[in-house]
Chain A
Amino acid sequence: MAYSDKVLDHYNNPRNVGSLDKNDPNVGTGMVGAPECGDVMKLQLKVNPVTHIIEEAKFKTFGCGSAIASSSLATEMLKGKTVDEALDIKNTVIVQELSLPPVKIHCSVLAEDAIKAAITDYKKKQEVATPVAQQA
């Protein structure tokens, strides 16, 4: 199968590879997929507590080139968005941007799931963190 230039670009030069401190209350971590399915994505985002804008996004992915490219692109798309804006990111945008063939659409779905999981984790932390802050 031939890969699109964009997939190759993200595969060869993945953006925002790495990890953020998962214990930081401003960091949301999403991990989706399973090793026996052949893909696992870990996506993390860091939200500015004042502006609520995503300042940093990092990923690590075990998966095919399209899965790596989808998560790399996702981290690029997240940066600069508010949490609510990030929730609107749809897998179809990733499909279009990377010209993914039908068999690779699930990679983009996984990236969308990873974004949602990271935001859910972030929001959960905020809920826990807020009352604690009020008490103090």
Chain B
Amino acid sequence: MKMPIYLDNHATTPMDPRVLDAMLPYFKEQFGNAASRNHAFGWEAEEAVERARKQIAELIGATAKEIIFTSGATESNNLAIKGVAEMYAEKGNHIITAATEHKAILDTCKHLEKNGFRVTYLPLQSNGLIDLEMLKEAITDKTILISIMYANNEIGVVQSIAEIGKIAKARGVLFHTDGVQAVGKIPVNVIKDNIDLMSITAHKLYGPKGVGALYVRRKSPRVQLTAQMDGGGHERGMRSGTLNVPGIVGFGKACELCQQEMATESVRLRTLRDRLKDKLTSELDEVYINGTMESRLPHNLNISFAYVEGESLLMGINDVAVSSGSACTSATLEPSYVLKALGAGDDLAHSSIRFGLGRFTTDDEIDYVTNRVIEVVRKLRELSPLYEMVKEGVDLSKVVWTAH
């Protein structure tokens, strides 16, 4: 077994070697600018880009012309939200999103709030899902956009996207979804799901970093955007800038592979993930799964080991790469806002670990990680005054703590 073991596939995925092979020629002989219209170098690059556009479109049930290349999902999210807000400003100034979106959505919305837009941040139910009735009630005649992510990057909960899309359509509101965690992992279809705009990135689906796309619907309705990058008018005028041809080729190949392998891969990962979950929950007491298992990415497990702090747990399993919602592991020193939004209490956020399985995760790795986690949780609970108190029958919620 190769150490350390990588189980942080929601942060990024390793590139599939087949993707790298597809990219290499475009770094070397086929280096042309896809916008060069008058020689073979340009034609070759353009042909490669158009092939990739088709591969990406096919994965999500779109047409090639609806794919706008960007530098990644942060840019796609910015372009979608700011682009719609500016283009449809005359129609309204209200946007609906959720409190647990990625920062690229939340901070973009906060930016717009400073410029006179009104934003509703929907809370989550304790299972991690949006309350659809609450969404319906939040829509006003000023609402121009709903942006709800397809699947959450921390808890892996998959929203009722098709339902949300239907609600948006019925009210004539555009629907954007951050599809980063879902596309390539579970079936996503922009037609069936009533999606008008969707952000995707290559590096979460075994492609290279630095390249992403925004799906922009062209028919019923034809979505328009105000460009956020001025220049040569590339990408139907929506995103200027010379295309990252090798990156795009890799992105396309990665999507093609996902489409071919998703059915078998998702079953394999779900089985492995469930094995991890079942062993952890049967061997250890007081473990809590964050977010519903009913509607969840097959390769995600987010679990809290009560009375054990997340960073100390990561330290004990230092040959395993995972993430924690603990404050100590975040740059802001705040516990995960996603877990807090589930309403389970900050203490469970501090105790949470996110496992993200991937294409290259093996059975042996999962068995090794399971045993390590059990061992370290037991050791840290020996050290935990909270676990001791609970075992003595103390109700921790009644203790007066000296918060600091």
Contact = CB atoms under 8 A, between A and B. Distances in A.
A41 B403 CA distance: 12
A35 B385 CA distance: 10
A42 B385 contact: yes
A62 B384 contact: yes
A25 interface: no
B220 interface: no
Interface stretch (B49-57, B65-73, B308-316): B308-316
Contacts of B327: 37-38
A60 interface: yes
Interface of B: 307-309, 311-312, 315-316, 326-328, 333, 335, 345-347, 350, 382-388, 396, 401-404
13 contacts: A33-B403, A34-B402, A35-B350, A38-B309, A38-B346, A60-B383, A61-B385, A62-B385, A62-B387, A63-B312, A64-B309, A65-B312, A113-B402
A14 interface: yes
Contacts of B401: 33-37, 40
B286 to A, nearest CB: 13
Interface string A15-54: 0010100000000000111111111111000000000000
Nearest to A31: B385
A64 B403 contact: no
Contacts of B383: 14, 17, 60-62, 68
A5 B400 CA distance: 35
A61 B385 CA distance: 6
Nearest to A34: B401
Given A61-B384, A64-B312, 20 more contacts: A8-B315, A11-B312, A14-B383, A31-B385, A33-B401, A33-B403, A34-B403, A35-B350, A37-B346, A38-B328, A38-B350, A39-B309, A40-B385, A40-B386, A41-B385, A42-B385, A60-B383, A61-B383, A65-B312, A103-B333
A73 interface: no
Contacts of A34: 401-404
B351 to A, nearest CB: 9
B311 A64 contact: yes
Contacts of A32: 402, 404
A14 B382 CA distance: 11
Given A32-B402, A36-B347, A41-B385, A11 B309 contact: no
B232 to A, nearest CB: 43
A11 B335 CA distance: 22
Contacts of A79: none
Given A35-B386, A38-B309, A60-B388, A3 B315 contact: yes
Contacts of A19: 388
Nearest to B306: A35
Contacts of A38: 309, 326-328, 335, 346-347, 350
Contacts of B307: 62
A34 B308 CA distance: 13
Interface in A52-83: 60-65, 67-68
B383 to A, nearest CB: 6
A115 to B, nearest CB: 14
A123 interface: no
A63 B311 CA distance: 8
B328 A64 contact: yes
A35 B347 contact: yes
Contact of B402 (A8, A33, A62, A63): A33
A37 B404 contact: yes
Contact of A68 (B312, B346, B350): B312
Given A3-B315, A38-B327, A65-B312, A110 B404 contact: yes
A68 B345 CA distance: 23
A109 B404 CA distance: 10
